[in-house]
Amino acid sequence: MDAAGKRELHDAIWRSSGGFDLVLAPVLIALLGLWIDSAAGTRPIFMLAFLAFGTVGAVLKVYYDYQRGMHEAAEHAAAVREEAARLRAEAAELGARPVRDFTGEIDTMPLEGSDS
């Protein structure tokens, strides 16, 4: 498997982990509560309390993972914009002229006198 394939697989697993967090954590914690209830004879107090605790914890984990991912994506986008601005300035110093694509965005910056 090449590096791009490994990265794609990693990203797919990371995106799907939220579903596992939302289901698996509350169920496992509720089972722990059920075991405590059976040992203490207090059915189903601990199971319900642990289920609620696990659900809230799982939702918060998914939420904060999402927020962290969006923050990282925004930082990456800002870095890409800064690099593009630096490259545009560098190309302008070399005498290149901006070429716009069909959306109006700057696509490439060939040097003057080149055919591309």
Angle at 96 between CA 95 and CA 99, to 5 degrees: 155
- DSSP state for residue 42 in the 8-state scheme: -
Give the max Cα distance, the chain. Answer: 86
Q: 25: pLDDT confidence band, cut at 50, 70 and 90? A: very high
Express each pLDDT in 82-96 by its tens digit.
998 898 888 888 877
Model confidence, pTM: 0.65
Looking at the structure of the chain, the number of domains it has is 1
Express each pLDDT in 54-78 by its tens digit.
999 999 998 998 899 899 999 999 9
Task: Answer yes or no: is 19 within a domain.
Answer: yes
Q: What is the pLDDT of residue 81?
A: 92
* Domain assignment of residue 97, given as a range: 3-108
Task: Answer yes or no: is 102 within a domain.
Answer: yes
Task: Answer yes or no: is 14 within a domain.
Answer: yes
Task: Answer yes or no: is 116 within a domain.
Answer: no
Regarding predicted confidence, which is higher, 56 or 20?
56
Short-list 93, 68, 90, CA closest to 18: 68
Task: Answer yes or no: is 114 within a domain.
Answer: no
